[in-house]
Amino acid sequence: MAALVPCPDGTDPPRVIGVGASAGGLEAVGTLLAGLPASLPAAVLVVIHQSEAGPGRLAELLDRRSPLPVRAACDGAPVVAGDVHVAVPGHHLLLERRTLRVARGPRENGYRPAVDPLFRSLALEVGPAALGVVLSGMLDDGAAGLLEIVRHGGAAAVQDPDEAAFVAMPTAALRQVPGAAVAPAARLAETLVALLARPAVGVARTSERLAGEVGVALGHREGWSEPFREAVGLSCPDCSGPLYEADEPLLLRYRCRIGHAWSQESLRAGQAVAAERALETALRALEEKAALHHRIGRNAEARGSSRLADRARETAHDALASAAVVRDLLSSPRDGEAW
């Protein structure tokens, strides 16, 4: 196999570990970082799903457990072996030309930061020098990006689903990359050290498709439609725009014109949230309609117009009956899960 294609300055691309986690993942990330050696020959980039309005203290919390310096990601910072950078609220974390990019591109899988954009940028920028790690979390963010890392010659590791606080993200990652190394969080550090001991060999391939998707996460408009070409009659839960399906037979993914991206499980969850919002709006409108017609009925009765009062009370009764149906829908679980 050919040696890794060097960077324009003649040196090899830096080894970079991308770590993605969601629910239950903070503890797993802390355990992973605690086991890494201070002489780690790779940079570590971490994305943990968090509220865009969050305080942004994840780097501070993780720094207490890590022998490596942990910092909140800063746009334009160089990627240096032994440094750990953590995505900040409301921004994707990506790699571009050996530097960090902190960008407010469109949300992916309902999150910003999201794991897939980081992994795709590692696949594009350093290819065989990239390692992707998926830890505890709900739904399937990270699975598509981990597949891109492996497609471009990199390595993959996944937290053992049997010991993850939430199994969905590790399980989804293993469906896409069944050959990934699997270990409990406490042993993932030694797994990564062993993977780093192997030479990063292979040809760092360029990909217009992948470059387009990374560009969208960076906030560029061009390239969003490659390979998303087929309108599928579904709406984006974020913006209600039409969704387009990726031309990937084994992996269902969608984007809208704004650039919001969805995996199949994340889209299902996003649709459930959107449906709940719509039902809540309908419930409020029906109850307000009932309240208004009760007032109309009382006013009509006070004026001696019994016919108008009866019609108003009948309309209010019908609105409350419809509201009860909507309320039952809101309180009923869907597909084994609560709203």
Regarding whether 150 and 29 lie in a shared domain, the answer is yes
Cis peptide before 242 (omega within 30 of 0): no
Residue 238: which domain range?
Answer: 227-339
130 and 174 within one domain: yes
- pLDDT tens for 25-77 read 999 999 999 999 999 999 999 999 998 888 889 999 999 999 999 999 999 99
Find the range with the poorest average confidence among 47-51, 231-235, 292-296, 329-333: 329-333
Overall average pLDDT of the 15-30 stretch: 97
Q: Return the active site residues.
A: 22, 49, 141
Q: Please tell me the distance from the alpha carbon of residue 165 to that of residue 28, in angstroms, as a whole number.
A: 9
Q: Quote the pLDDT of residue 50.
A: 93
Domain for residue 242, yes or no?
yes
| DSSP code, position 128 | G
Residues 337 and 259 in one domain: yes
Residue at 10 is within a domain:
no
Residue 203 resides in a domain: no
Lowest mean pLDDT among 24-33, 87-96, 228-237, 296-305: 228-237
The closest of 71, 109, 118, 112 to 89, measured between CA atoms, is 112
| DSSP run (H or E) holding 96 | strand 92-96
Residue 150 within a domain:
yes
Whether 171 maps to a domain, the answer reads: yes
Residue listed under structure tokens 């704004």: 258
Contact yes or no for 161/135 (Cβ under 8 A): no
Predicted pLDDT of residue 249:
67
Tally of structural domains, the chain: 2
pLDDT digits (tens, 9 = 90+) for 109-167: 999 999 999 999 999 999 999 999 999 999 999 999 999 999 999 999 999 999 999 99
Both 177 and 271 in one domain: the answer is no
Q: Tell me the CATH number at 99.
A: 3.40.50.180
186 occurs within a structural domain: yes
The neighbour count for residue 198, using CB atoms within 10 Å, is 9
- Domain end point (choices 197, 217, 250): 197
Residues sharing a CB contact under 8 Å with residue 328, sequence separation 6 or more, in sequence order: none
Q: Is the pLDDT assigned to residue 333 strictly greater than 80?
A: no
The verdict on 176 and 291 lying in the same domain is no
pLDDT band, very low/low/confident/very high, at 230 (cuts 50, 70, 90): confident
Does one domain contain both 125 and 249?
no
- Strand order in 181-183's β-sheet? 70-72, 84-86, 43-48, 16-21, 130-134, 155-159, 181-183
Is 6 part of a structural domain of the chain? no
Say if 211 falls within a structural domain: no
The verdict on 124 and 260 lying in the same domain is no
Q: Which pLDDT score, from 0 to 100, does residue 42 have?
A: 96
> Do both 149 and 253 map to the same domain?
no
Torsion of CA 218, 220, 221, 222, to 10 degrees: -110
Looking up tokens 């407010």 gives 104
pLDDT at 32: 98
pLDDT per residue over 172-224, tens digit each? 999 999 999 999 999 999 999 999 998 876 555 667 888 889 999 998 876 66
